[in-house]
Amino acid sequence: MNIMEKILQLHRCTLRFDDRLTEWGGALMALAIRLYVGWQFFKSGMVKLDDWGSTLALFQYEYHVPLLSPSVAAVTGAFGELFFPTLLAFGLLSRPAALGLFAVNLMAVISYPALFQFDCPAAINDHFYWGALLLALVAFGPGRFSLDSWLAYRSSTAPQARKLTHCLIRGAAAARAAAPAAARNRPAWTRSRWHRRPGIFHCRPSSPSRSAQ
C-alpha cells in the first residue's frame, strides 16, 4: 500500500461519521442558538413589561423608530421580543420567527444610533452577533429538536399510512365479496358431512338410501 492509498484510507475514516455529526451536531447547535438568542430578546421584553411607563418614555425620547409612533413602536417591540423567542424555543415556525426577530434586532439598532458612539463596542457587537445567528437559523433551519421537524415527519408519513389503510380496506372488502362465490364453487364432497375411519378422517357424499334407512 503506497502513501497515497494510506492518505485516502485515512480520509475515508475521517468522513465515516460526517452525516451523523452534521445531523445531530447541527441539531444541537441549532437548539443552542434558538435558546440563547431567544432568551436575550425575551429578557428585554420582560423588562419592558415590568416598567411600562419607563418603556414608553424611552420610545418617546431615546428610541426613534421610523414610521411608527412611540406608543405603537413600544407595543410592537415588546410583542416581538416576547412572541418570536417563544416560537424559537419550541422550534415552531422557526424560520419566520428568526426573520421576525432579525427585524426586531435591526429596528433596535436603527432606532438607537447612540450604540455606534459608545466607547465600548460590546453593545453594538452583540446585535451583530445575534443577527448573524438568526440568519444562520433561517439558512439551515431549526434542526431535529424542534416541532417543525416533528410536523414535517408526520406530514411525510401520513400519506403512506392513508394509502396502506386504503389498500387493507379494499383487500378486506374483496375477500368478503369473494367468499360466497368460493363457497358455491366448492366440490360437493367438501360440503358433505365428515365420516371417521380408523386412523384417518375422510369425507364422502351421504347416500340417499342410507340416510333413508
Q: pLDDT digits over 30-63, tens only?
A: 999 999 999 999 999 999 999 999 999 989 888 8
pLDDT of residue 190: 52
pTM of the model: 0.68
Reported as a single tens digit per residue, the pLDDT across 62-96 is: 888 888 888 999 999 999 999 999 999 999 999 99
| C-alpha span between 181 and 17 (Å, rounded) | 59
Which residues neighbour 26 within 8 Å (Cβ) at sequence distance 6 or greater? 140, 143
In angstroms, the CA 71 to CA 56 distance is 6
Strand partners, 197: 200
pLDDT at 12 over 80: no
The C-alpha cell that represents 147 in the structure block: 416541532
> Which position has the higher pLDDT, 178 or 48?
48
How high is the pLDDT of residue 180? 61
Here the cell at position 33 is: 442558538
State the Cα–Cα distance between residues 46 and 48, nearest whole angstrom: 5
Residue 194 pairs with which residues in a beta bridge? 203
Nearest-angstrom CA–CA distance, 88 and 96: 9
CA distances from 185 to 76, 173, 176, 188, 211 (A): 78, 19, 15, 9, 25
Of the two residues 76 and 13, the one the predictor is more confident about is 76
Indicate the domain borders of the chain: 22-145
* Chain segment 94-149, per-residue pLDDT in tens: 999 999 999 999 998 998 887 877 777 777 889 999 999 999 999 999 988 999 99
Query: According to the model, what pLDDT value does residue 147 have?
Result: 93
